[in-house]
A = this chain, B = another copy of it.
Amino acid sequence: MLNQSSSLDRLFHALADPARRAMIERLSRGPAPVSELARPLPMSLPSAMQHLGVLEEAGLVRSEKIGRVRTCSIQAAPLSLAEQWINARRQEWEHRLDRLGDYLKSLEQEGDHDDSAK
């Protein structure tokens, strides 16, 4: 549980930056060399490499050096972990709203019943 918690810390932290999200957006469409990931970003290559490091630490990206080119690919499982956490919260509040709706309906029906009893 603690491990999952610190995984979520690193995951959400990794996603909290526009440059890192741009890299994830690119990698969702397929693997890419580091140079291609860095090119559209308004920063130096070393800065882009630092952002890439944060994504790798969070487990969101894996990179592999083939010959002289380092190619990055997205790792689906960690991103799913973040999605699942949000999804579970949404299910909880939707469930709560459903129950509230049922309760209000039951009050309404009680009201109808009272009216017809008059």
Contacts and interface: CB of A to CB of B under 8 A. Distances in A.
Interface of A: 5-6, 8-13, 15-18, 21, 24-25, 28-30, 74, 76, 79-80, 82-83, 85-87, 89-90, 92-93, 96
Given A5-B18, A12-B15, A83 B90 contact: yes
21 contacts: A6-B18, A8-B16, A9-B17, A9-B18, A10-B16, A12-B13, A12-B15, A12-B16, A13-B13, A13-B16, A15-B85, A16-B16, A25-B92, A28-B96, A29-B93, A30-B96, A74-B89, A76-B93, A79-B86, A83-B83, A83-B86
A87 to B, nearest CB: 7
